[in-house]
Amino acid sequence: MNYARFVTAMSAARKPSFIRTLTVLEECSPLSLISLAGGCPNPDTFPFLSASIQVKMASPIPELLTCIKRLQKRFHNPPNPQTDVCVTTGSQEGICKVFEMLVSPGDNVLLSAPTYGSTLNMLQPLGCNLINVSSDEHGMVPEALREVLSRWSPSEVHKPNSSAPKVLYTIPNGDNPTGVSMTEQRKREVYELARLYDMLIIEDDPYYFLQFDKPWAPSFLSMDVDGRVIRTDSFSKILSSGLRLGFITGPKPLLDRVLLHVEVSTIHTSSFTQLMVSQLLHSWGEQGFLQHIEGLIAFYRKQRDAMLGSADKWLKDVAEWHSPSAGMFLWIKLKGIRDTQQLIREKALEKEVLLVPGGEFMINSSEPCSFVRASFSVSSPEQMDEAFRRLSLLVKEAQC
Ligand code: PMP
């Protein structure tokens, strides 16, 4: 694929650091080379075992990279031989840098709203037009995507001034906030449309390992024969969110460019974090990792079931929802409530129950939205039950 048409002028202007080039030279040179080039402080002066956590600018700890590549092969087996991986400070950094690389003011970007609030917060200031592709309980609707794309002709998307969308963003499993997961059939149809209109797909999949039902639908990455999928993964939901460790998998030419963006911001993800995770994954081995994931799935499935049980008990008359098959969110429509912003902001605290009003996930947050997002990750079954009792009272009072 020719990636030049996807890259913003700002990103194209990012150049590799000359010092980084020297660092690579140092690594490949004989020991007799005396380098006065580097600008790093002397690690011997640091009060901890810094030598072991010293990594070169923007490069990951090789052992961690090996583990991640093994995971990606095991779970996605990307068919495109140009596929590479880079480490990021949480998947959030990855998504942000990818948008920075691909989205220019005035661009049309496709996504299904409601969507992850931070994605909206990243995209909106970039001055792009966010185009909503309808979704239902099985995720993005391919027919709706086809309809949106019919405004453009596939044969004209490569014209220099074409306004055809170049980027489609999706959260394919346990969507935040809707909890919805996309079926394999839908993914295949969306991928084919991306091919037809030569678009890149950003697959933001932090809840991949929290899928409750097997078999898991193949990822977009695993279908990507062309090299048009940029996938972001996260250790936040499976090891610890405070680690701030994620990774991007996608075509090497684009990942090399993402690293130029990283180089001028975080330089690289904390070596300490990388080393910790790398050692943990090595000590677990594949079996240990899989066992850990099975434990997580069992935990979150139980939490989901507890929340669904309480929803059935308290909210049947006042709300509607679908059972999520992945992730940690229940997306609840409150009957007779035109907009949940006011209800949550003004009345929920009085009743001592907190949820996120749906408007926070809409392209236009001032548009009325009758949904709320409830998370089943940290509250106990008893707390969820009491929370839904309070929510049902709140809704009943507001309906009067
Ligand atoms: N994408 C989605 C859909 C999320 O829900 C989150 C976390 N809330 C992120 C990305 C960011 O995760 P991380 O902690 O890996 O930066």
The gap from C-alpha 333 to its chain's centroid, in whole angstroms, comes to 24
Q: Which contacts qualify for 131-136: CB closer than 8 Å, 24 or more apart?
A: 131/165, 132/363, 133/168, 135/175, 135/178, 135/180, 136/180
Taking Cα atoms as reference points, which of 266, 219, 287, 274 lies closest to residue 92? 266
What's residue 53's pLDDT?
58
- Residue 142: CB within 6 Å of ligand 1? no
Best probe residue, ligand 1, of 171, 205, 234, 360 (max atoms within 8 Å of C-beta): 234
| Nearby residues of 13 by Cβ (< 8 Å), 6 or more positions away | none
Q: Is the CB of 234 under 6 A from ligand 1?
A: yes
pLDDT confidence bin for 22, thresholds 50/70/90: confident
Nearest alpha carbon, ligand 1 atom 10: 92
Closest atom of ligand 1 to CA, residue 171: 3
| Distance from the alpha carbon of residue 389 to the mean position of ligand 1, in angstroms | 29
Q: What is the pLDDT of residues 122-134, one digit of tens each?
A: 999 999 999 999 9
Q: What per-residue confidence (pLDDT) applies to 42?
A: 83
- How many A from CA of 69 to the centre of ligand 1? 20
Judged against a pLDDT cut of 80, whether residue 146 lies above it is answered with yes
Please state the atom number of ligand 1 nearest to the C-alpha of residue 204.
1
246: phi then psi, degrees, rounded to nearest 5? -145, 180
Query: Residue 240 above 70 pLDDT?
Result: yes
pTM of structure: 0.95
176 CB less than 6 Å from ligand 1?
yes
- pLDDT tens-digit profile of 266-294? 999 999 899 999 999 999 999 999 999 99
In three-state secondary structure terms, 148 is helix
* Per-residue pLDDT at 50: 56
ipTM score assigned to the predicted complex:
0.99
Question: In this structure, is the dihedral angle defined by the CA atoms of residues 12, 13, 19 and 21, taken in order, positive or negative?
Answer: positive
206 in ligand 1 pocket by Cβ < 6 Å?
A: yes
Is the pLDDT at 166 greater than 50? The verdict is yes
When the pLDDT of each residue in the chain is averaged and rounded to a whole number, the result is: 94
Tell me the CA–centroid distance for residue 206 and ligand 1, in Å.
6
Give pairs for 269-273: CB < 8 Å, separation 24+: 269/60, 269/87, 269/88, 269/89, 269/93, 269/244, 269/245, 270/89, 270/244, 271/53, 271/54, 271/55, 271/61, 272/53, 273/243, 273/244, 273/245
State the distance from the centre of ligand 1 to the C-alpha of 91, rounded, in angstroms.
Answer: 6
pLDDT tens digits, one per residue of 89-107: 999 999 999 999 999 999 9
Q: Is 243 exposed, middle or buried (0-12, 13-18, 19+ CB in 10 A)?
A: buried
91 Cα nearest atom in ligand 1: 15
